[in-house]
Amino acid sequence: MEIQELLGRSAHSMEDLRRMRDLVKAMRSTELQAIVQDGELFSTCITLLQQQSASDSRDSKVGILSETFFAMLDVVPTGALSDSQHEQLQICLSHCSPIVREMALCQASGIYMKQLLQDLSHLAEDASTETRTRAMNTIASLLSLNVENSNNELENLTESWFRHLSKDPMQFCLSLCKQPFTDIRTAALKILQVIASQHWGQVYIKNTPGCLEYILDRRTEHEKAGKEGKYEVVSSIVSSPTALTVFGTEMLLPLRKYEREGPFFIAPDVDIAFEGDGS
């Protein structure tokens, strides 16, 4: 098969990638699923994604690769991927999320991304601690945006992905933030920190009952990683150019106070003297 010959090459030219894309798009879903399960096409796409992510200058190969990658993933259900392929994909996505966002903006990838994010949320709730942490780190990486590179289109995309996590994505995050395991809480706080830097995420935080109170309550964290995680959430809000518009001056005051005091601030005990206590 021609695609197998293309996959076997040690280097891939632009012409190779275009031909691979055209072959993938022309395949019936059963044929494509069989090739993905064989592993070589999947691994090649993953490898090329990682190479492009590491490259300082991204050329038009990214566009061709994106069409191939999402043509494959939109046809092949996530249930058809092996455990090792799921793990490989999650690691790749966590390292290559800017490229994934670029591809998602120009490809009809909504169905696949919805399923992927739902899979990640299930892993975050019900798996080994290591797998749960990796799943949450992948979610945070996918939702992350640099403020200087952010725009309405990208924020609309990350918000739509956030909504795919659960019927109530904020409660999903908060329930993980309140788990008794530090590694789980810290990873969940990273998701909260990522959305706290974006306008839509701030709206979610403001409108979710008890969320701000939880963020400002220092008593929920007793270890260094947890204290730092909460501080990063607060810092993301305070430093955001949209925070004042979303929260207003009054709601921002305790957040700014929290940031000024730092992650490890401990409020002093206040002794209250009652009349007639002899002191």
Three-state SS string over the chain comes to CHHHHHHCCCCCCHHHHHHHHHHHHHCCHHHHHHHHHHCHHHHHHHHHHHHHHHCCCCCCHHHHHHHHHHHHHHHCCHHHCCHHHHHHHHHHHHHHHHHHHHHHHHCCCHHHHHHHHHHHHHHHHCCCHHHHHHHHHHHHHHHCCCHHHCCHHHHHHHHHHHHCCCCCHHHHHHHHHCCCCHHHHHHHHHHHHHHHCCHHHHHHHHHCCCHHHHHHCHHHCCCHHHHHHHHHHHHHHHCCCCHHHHHHHHHHHHHHHHHHHCCCCCCCCCCCCCCCCCC
Q: In this structure, is residue 25 part of a structural domain? A: yes
| Average pLDDT for 170-174 | 97
Q: Is residue 248 in some structural domain?
A: no
Model confidence pTM above 0.75: no
Quick check: is 181 in a domain?
A: no
Query: Which range marks the domain in which residue 71 is found?
Result: 1-84
Report yes or no on 219 lying in a domain. Answer: no
Residue 65 has pLDDT above 50, yes or no: yes
Give the model confidence (pLDDT) of 231-278 as tens digits. 999 999 999 999 999 999 999 999 999 999 999 998 776 554 444 554
Instruction: Compute CA distances 57 → 22, 61, 94, 105, whole Å.
Output: 25, 11, 20, 19
Dig out the tokens for 83 from the structure. 């455990």
Q: Give the confidence band of 62 by pLDDT, cuts at 50, 70, 90.
A: low
As a whole number of angstroms, the distance between CA 15 and CA 12 comes to 8
Please check the confidence at residue 11 and state whether its pLDDT lies above 90.
Answer: no
The pLDDT of residue 249 is: 95
Q: What is the pLDDT of residues 82-100, one digit of tens each?
A: 666 666 666 665 555 555 5
Instruction: Tell me whether residue 68 is in a domain.
Output: yes
Is the predicted pLDDT of residue 25 greater than 90, yes or no?
no
pLDDT digits (tens, 9 = 90+) for 39-61: 666 666 666 666 655 554 445 56
More confidently predicted of 108 and 204:
204
CB-based contacts of 43-52 (< 8 A; 24+ apart in sequence):
43/88, 44/7, 44/12, 45/69, 45/72, 46/88, 46/89, 46/92, 48/12, 48/17, 49/92, 49/96, 49/99, 49/100, 50/92, 50/95, 50/96, 52/96, 52/99
Sign of CA dihedral 28, 32, 35, 40: positive
Q: How confident is the model at residue 80 (pLDDT cuts 50, 70, 90)?
A: low
Residue 31 in domain: yes
Q: For residue 16, tell me if it sits in a domain.
A: yes
Count of domains forming the chain = 1
pLDDT at residue number 186: 96
**Band (123; pLDDT cuts 50, 70, 90):** confident
Tell me how crowded residue 22 is: count the other CB atoms within 10 A of its CB. Answer: 15
Domain-embedded: residue 17? yes
The Cα 261–Cα 230 span in angstroms is 13
The lowest-confidence range among 11-20, 187-196, 200-209, 255-264 is 11-20
